[in-house]
Amino acid sequence: MQIVNHGVQKELMQNMRNVAYEFFKLPIKEKDKYAMLSNDIHGYGHAYVVSEDQTLDWTDTLFLLIYPNRFRKLQFWPRTPLEFKEITEAYSSEVKRVGDELLSSLSVIMGLEKHVLVGLHKEVLQGLRVNYYPPCNTPEEVLGLSPHSDSSTITLLMQDDDVPGLEIRHEGNWVPVTPIPNALVVNVGDVIEIWSNGKYKSVEHRAVTNKNKRRTSYATFLFPRDDVEVEPFDHMIDAQNLKMYQKVRYGDYLRQSLKRKMEGKAHTDVAKIKELVIEE
Ligand SMILES: O=C(O)CCC(=O)C(=O)O
Ligand SMILES: [Fe+2]
């Protein structure tokens, strides 16, 4: 879904776009000062290696853990432009407010008290991934971001207003998510899929490239702490809806799925119960 009237000021959204673009415009040498280390998720990085033919996705990314504050690794936060930190903090705190509200509503929709879902995270972790897709001469030959679902609980995504690119898989087809100016796109992530025993499916999506225009997207992921054990809620399981997912430690699940990222939803197999024994 896309949400509007979320209360995040459009000036703040635009400032976030501006500082991110200032960063991606820097020479590679400057950006590489924040380069992601091979065993880490923080910092500036290039695309994931995707398909068997080793095609790279047409994107540069910057990933930062924002909350809880103690998880920040400030050495990976761009110092150019100067306002980057301040604006990223202001933007993220606003998105956090909207995210908390969404988690409360989801909790109620899933038949739980308002605060239960947030509580189950132990702490809600919030990460920001900025994806920068330069214009691409051959958009039919390369993807911006290969098909995947997010390993988060939910994702709140800001798109550029004037350049489409995001597509979701619906009934076997790729359907563009046409940007609504200043809306936030909300994706159901894998954690909701597991908790709901598959009733609310994480959405498979991808980003395509554009021949003439650059595009940037800003994905805020909300997810549980590593030590949280995620499994379907008892009240979502019955004789008609057998338990489809086994208990997984979230940290293990996340690491597994980052390794296999971008093969559609293949990484969710880690949590799926392989053989369902149906008792008469
Ligand atoms: O660029 C987009 O719209 C999609 C980004 C995305 O799916 C992600 O960062 O997980
Ligand atoms: Fe995504």
Atom of ligand 1 nearest to the CA of 217: 1
Q: Which residues pair with 68 in a beta bridge?
A: none
Question: Could you tell which of 17, 133, 157, 202 is best to mutate to test the pocket of ligand 1, judged by most ligand atoms within 8 Å of the CB?
Answer: 157
Question: Could you tell which of 59, 145, 184, 210 is best to mutate to test the pocket of ligand 1, judged by most ligand atoms within 8 Å of the CB?
Answer: 145
Q: Could you please state the CATH topology (level 3) that the domain comprising 2-271 is classified under.
A: Jelly Rolls (2.60.120)
E strand or H helix at 259? helix 250-260
Atom of ligand 1 nearest to the CA of 221: 10
pLDDT of 91 above 80: yes
61: helix, strand or coil:
strand
First vs last Cα of the chain: how many Å apart?
39
87: helix, strand or coil:
helix
Model pLDDT for residues 219-261, shown as the tens digit of each residue: 999 999 999 999 999 999 999 999 999 999 999 999 888 876 5
- 205 Cα: distance to centroid of ligand 2 (angstroms): 6
Cβ distance 174 to 168 under 8 Å? yes
User: Which residue lies with its CA nearest to atom 6 of ligand 1?
Assistant: 219
**Residues present in the chain in total:** 280
Mean pLDDT rounded to a whole number for the chain = 92
Residue 4 has a CB neighbour count (10 Å cut-off) of: 9
- 207 Cα: distance to centroid of ligand 2 (angstroms): 9
Cβ distance 138 to 201 under 8 Å? no
164: helix, strand or coil:
coil
- 226 Cα: distance to centroid of ligand 1 (angstroms): 22
User: Which residue lies with its CA nearest to atom 3 of ligand 1?
Assistant: 166
pLDDT of 263 above 70: no
pLDDT of 213 above 90: yes
Give the span between the Cα atoms of 137 and 158, in whole angstroms.
Answer: 25
E strand or H helix at 155? strand 154-159
Question: Could you tell which of 205, 215, 254, 267 is best to mutate to test the pocket of ligand 1, judged by most ligand atoms within 8 Å of the CB?
Answer: 205
- 31 Cα: distance to centroid of ligand 1 (angstroms): 20
More confident: 280 or 106: 106
Q: Give the contacts of 151 (CB within 8 A, at least 6 positions apart).
A: 189, 190, 191, 221, 223, 253, 254, 257, 258, 267
DSSP string, 165-203: -EEEEETTEEEE-PPPTT-EEEEE-HHHHHHTTTSSPPP
Query: What's residue 280's pLDDT?
Result: 42
- 50 Cα: distance to centroid of ligand 1 (angstroms): 15
Residue 32 has a CB neighbour count (10 Å cut-off) of: 13
Model pLDDT for residues 168-206, shown as the tens digit of each residue: 999 999 999 999 999 999 999 999 999 999 999 999 999
List pocket residues of ligand 1, CB cut-off 6 Å.
129, 131, 145, 150, 157, 159, 165-166, 205, 207, 217, 219
